[in-house]
Structure 1
Amino acid sequence: MNKDPVASVLNTIRRFDMLKRGDKVLLSVSGGPDSIFLFYALQKLKDKLKISIFVANIDHSIRGRASAIDSEFVKYISESFKVPYIYKKIDPKVYRDNELSTEEIARKLRYDFLIKSAKKMKVNKIATGHTIDDHAETILMRIIKGTTLRGVIGIPSVREENDVSIIRPLIDIEKADIVNFLKKRNIPYRIDNTNYSDIYFRNTVRNRIMPYLSRYNPRIGRALANLAESLREDFNFIEEEKRKSGVGFSKSRKGLSLNLKDIIIQPKALRKEIIRDALTKAGANIKKLSYKHWKDFDSFIRLGQKGKRIDLPGGLRILKEKDSLLFFKLGKLDT
């Protein structure tokens, strides 16, 4: 990319209508090149966009003193530009005795902190430093592990969570362009040396698989991102049709129920998304579901007899009643 990355950030913000005049934006800044560039770009654009910026930093405690130094660096940068700063240190004990991976726990804790901080600071937008490289890696990781249309569309440019918009202004920029930009201007940033180790699946994808694939397509990251954007149009169509279908859930002391007649008449693609929504609301761990689970759901809905049930990872059960599907956590209902 020959274009100024800051100009690309502005184009992305406008293309996805990420920011409006008067918005307050909490930047998730780790100290690495992507988040430091995010800080630099929005610091430079804030007057043009008529926005206010704030900085949030979390010390995950995974790298000991190194991560503490990163947080000190972010604090120094924030104070140098007189940007309000909020910080949290995670207790390493949270990573033990948990069915989630270290990466998944860290991500959950990070977003919980960002959303709580946004509420506390009365901020309506959160900006993260995800690049097109992160987007492509996420898509490929999901394809390798097995995914659905929802997974292949990757990282959304904008999403809503708990009345806060999470935006990705760097989602169309390559990391190499960011690093070149920072180096040319002598803008300091921190390096997380664990990124070069293959102890995490994402690092293996980033350090080994993507470089290998780039031998056959030097623009593999862009190609995966383009695929996701194309499929997102299909996904958005399905979501709109799901909304039009009017299929809803009812709640009772037993759990969450879906009317069988309402769901059976829907096309298979819609049935799957309706079931996904019900599972999510009932507390299922969607990431633990396999392709076989999704196939079983469809047969269960169409052919299963009254009283039949499916038990899912995380202690969730689906029970087929006469006219409905009942979703509940084991222990809440005797069957």
Structure 2
Amino acid sequence: MASTEPGRQDPGQASPPHASGDPERVRRELLRMGADERLWEPGDTVLVAVSGGPDSMALLHAVHMLSPQLGVRVAAAHADHGFRPEASAREAGTVRRYCAGLGIPCETAELDVPAHLAEHGGNKQAEARRLRYRFLLEAAGRAGASRIALAHHADDQAETVLMRLLRGSSPAGLAGIPLRRMEGNTELIRPLLRIHKPDLLAYCERHAVPYEEDGSNSSTDYTRNAIRLEALPYLEAFNGRLAESLCRTAESAAAESDYLDARTREVFASGVLSEEGRLTMSGAAFAALHVALQRRLIKLILDYLALETASAGFDEVERIRLGALSGTPSSWRVDLSRGLRFRREYGRLVWTRREDEEPQPYAIEVPEPEGVWTVAEAGVEIRFSAHRHTRDGTALFAASDADARTAFFDWDKLELPLLLRPRRDGDRMRPLGLNGTKKVQDMFVDGKLPPSQRPSFPLLCDGGGRILWIPGLRRSSHALADEGTRLLLRAEARQAGGPDRPAGE
């Protein structure tokens, strides 16, 4: 990332990318959109999320300059994700200095996403986004801001719509980036969604707004960058105003999606009943709905019940819809993603969480740990095998190679019989590498074990009641192999009758 002074042109560049931009359009569109969409009200405090790039810096300056006319107070927040220490320091410095010069209060945070990923795992971009939004919401609370302004612009919208078209999206997906959405008591707004990048760059040049360029934006290794740098320019040969066309598509789709969502909520309120944690509906009433409302209603019901945030895909929704409409057999059931279940019972449609359907308790005694033991309630198999330790240490081959799905124990330190059972209230384990004990429930959460799997997920215990291992997550510090080990017990967990992957994933 390089610091960019307004008006500086790279050597060899025929003309700056913002040559055709209209800096005045930024001010005009902010005023028009703010009024038309009521993005802010007099007396509001608006927190501007500022990365240090040209888009957010232009937004910060424009809202600040218009704040007396709008009757709003402006604050800023900047998050350092920790991916590029040197560049991040420059960005943070640019933001802080500029805010100080304008007299705008600014809160910054070092999120250290790499350290978070090393400890908790997860998708890099998703975790960075989650931590950034958590910080922004907390910063908004401290600033007394009811709205957070984000700097997504019209070209971002065009890229998003094209990406969704290419991978196959529902009409709701073609609505692209929403103009506004609520996050708790705070509204996220995007005032630049009708303003294009060249206008923002021209605005920065006109008003001497400093900004930082992110070098990674020029790498086509990222799909969005490839769409922006390769796909859109190629397609613009067929439509010179492609970005504007894609943005119009998003606006039309958003309006129609809003209407259908409102109708779906009306159907949900009038036709879906909540009965002891279950959602039920008349099959005849469901069949009378238009197919578009059927699909949206199914998604709304699944999202209402689910404990996990990922949305249901088209294939799963369609399987439920067709199953709900079918007349045979009279009763039909299907287990769904996110721990949910759908049943059709004699003209009645029922959606439940599987964990709410009273999982059967189990206790599987393993007197001699050898062979495969199946925990049908959890869909998990545990394979036990013994390996005699020899002086050259050949039986310790895996003790140093153990992964999350495999654990090794000193046989002579175990108290038999072993026991496979689900978690009980108050269960604690002494994890390897941790001083003291930790709640099993907390380890389920840390390991991102889906909530739907937790009630029946197996724990391996010894005859004395000690929890030895949570398959796929953590093992205890008990019965570790050492130089005095004579016989090793190897335990490996896999999904029962399913793909060859670890339990718990």
Q: TM-score, normalised by structure 1?
A: 0.90
Work out whether residues 25 and 53 of structure 1, in 8 Å CA contact, stay in contact via their aligned partners in 2: yes
> Using the alignment, how far apart are the partners of 1:58 and 1:31 within structure 2?
10
Residues 169-198 of structure 1: CA deviation (Å, up to 9, x unaligned): 111000011112212333210111111112
Match among 22, 26, 50 for residue 71 of structure 2: 50
Deviation, structure 1 residue 14: 1.2
Q: Which residue of 2 aligns with 1:327?
A: 352
| Residue 274 (structure 2) pairs with residue 250 (structure 1) | yes
Q: For residues 251 and 112 of structure 1, do their structure 2 counterparts lie closer, same or farther at Cα, with a shift above 3 Å needed?
A: farther
1:267 is aligned to 290
Q: Distance in 1 between matches of 2:111 and 2:47?
A: 19
Residues 146 and 291, structure 1, Cα contact 8 Å, conserved in 2 = no
2:335 counterpart of 1:310: yes
Q: Greater shift after overlay, 206-215 or 301-310?
A: 301-310
Q: How many residues get paired?
A: 331
- Please list the CA deviations of residues 273-329 of structure 1 after superposition, one character each: whole Å capped at 9, or x if unmatched: 1221222223366756443223212112222753511332xx422230533322325
Could you tell me which residue of structure 2 aligns to residue 155 of structure 1? Answer: 177
The 5-angstrom pairing of residues 231-246 of structure 1 reads 231-245=253-267, 246=270
| Distance across 2 between alignment mates of 1:208 and 1:105 | 28
Instruction: Give the counterpart of 1:169 among 184, 191, 196.
Output: 191
User: Does the CA contact (< 8 Å) of 2:151 and 2:190 recur in 1?
Assistant: yes
Q: CA offset at residue 241 of structure 1? A: 1.8
Measure, in 2, the Cα distance between the counterparts of 1:192 and 1:326.
47
Does 2:297 match 1:293? no
Asked whether the 8 Å contact 2:57–2:211 carries over to 1, the reply is yes
The structural deviation recorded for 1:126 is 0.8
Say whether residues 1:195 and 2:220 are aligned partners: no
Which deviates further from its counterpart, 96-105 or 229-238? 96-105
What is the distance in 1 between the residues matched to 2:178 and 2:330? 39
Q: Given residue 83 of structure 2, which amino acid in structure 1 is its aligned partner?
A: I
Secondary structure, in 3 states, of the residue corresponding to 2:52?
Answer: coil
Percent identical residues: 26
Letter in 2 for 1:43: H
Separation in 2, partners of 1:136, 1:265: 37
Cα offset, 1:51, TM superposition: 0.3
Counterpart of 1:215 in structure 2: which amino acid? Answer: A
Residue equivalent to 1:117 = 139
Shift of 1:100: 5.5
- Match for residue 41 of structure 1? 62
Residue 40 (structure 1) shift: 0.6
- Choose 318-327 or 57-66, whichever is displaced more: 318-327
Distance of 1:321 and 1:120 partners within structure 2: 49
3-state SS of the aligned residue for 1:190? Answer: strand
SS in 2 for 1:172: coil
Stretch moving more, 223-232 or 2-11:
2-11
State the distance in 1 between where 2:344 and 2:121 align: 31
Task: Give me the whole-angstrom Cα distance separating, in 1, the residues matched to 2:96 and 2:340.
Answer: 47
- Preserved contact between residue 41 and residue 72 of structure 2 (Cα < 8 Å): yes
* 3-state SS, counterpart of residue 182 of structure 2: strand
Decide whether aligned partners of structure 1 residues 36 and 328 sit closer, same or farther in structure 2, where only a CA change above 3 A counts. same
The one-letter amino acid paired with 1:169 is: P
Structure number with the higher helix fraction is: 1
Please tell me whether the aligned partners of residues 339 and 354 of structure 2 are also in contact (alpha carbons under 8 angstroms): yes
- 2:203 maps to 181
Report the equivalent of 2:398.
none
Compute the TM-score of the two structures, normalised by the length of structure 2: 0.61
* Aligned with residue 204 of structure 1, among 198, 201, 226: 226
Structure 2: gaps (5+ residues): 1-20, 361-505
Mapped to 2, the partners of 1:167 and 1:243 lie a distance apart of: 23
Cα RMSD of the aligned pairs, angstroms, is 2.4
Deviations 1:218-243 (A, max 9, x none): 21111001011122232122123223
Q: What residue identity is the alignment partner of 1:259?
A: M
